[in-house]
Amino acid sequence: MNFVNWEDYFDERIIARGEQYFLNGTVANLVIKNHCATATVSGTRSYRVEIDFSDDEITGMNCTCPYCQDEGYDCKHMVAVILALINPNFKEIDIKKLVESASDEQRKRFLQKVLENNYSLALQFKTLIEESV
pLDDT confidence bin for 106, thresholds 50/70/90: very high
Using DSSP's 3-state secondary structure scheme, residue 132 falls into helix
What are the φ and ψ backbone dihedral angles of 24, each rounded to 5 degrees?
A: -85, 0
Report pLDDT for 6: 92
Using DSSP's 3-state secondary structure scheme, residue 75 falls into coil
pLDDT confidence bin for 13, thresholds 50/70/90: very high
Using DSSP's 3-state secondary structure scheme, residue 26 falls into coil
Give the mean pLDDT of 65-69. 91
Give Cα 52 to chain centroid, integer Å: 18
Name, in order, each residue with C-beta under 8 angstroms of 64's C-beta and a sequence gap of 6 or more.
47, 48, 49
In this prediction the pTM is: 0.70
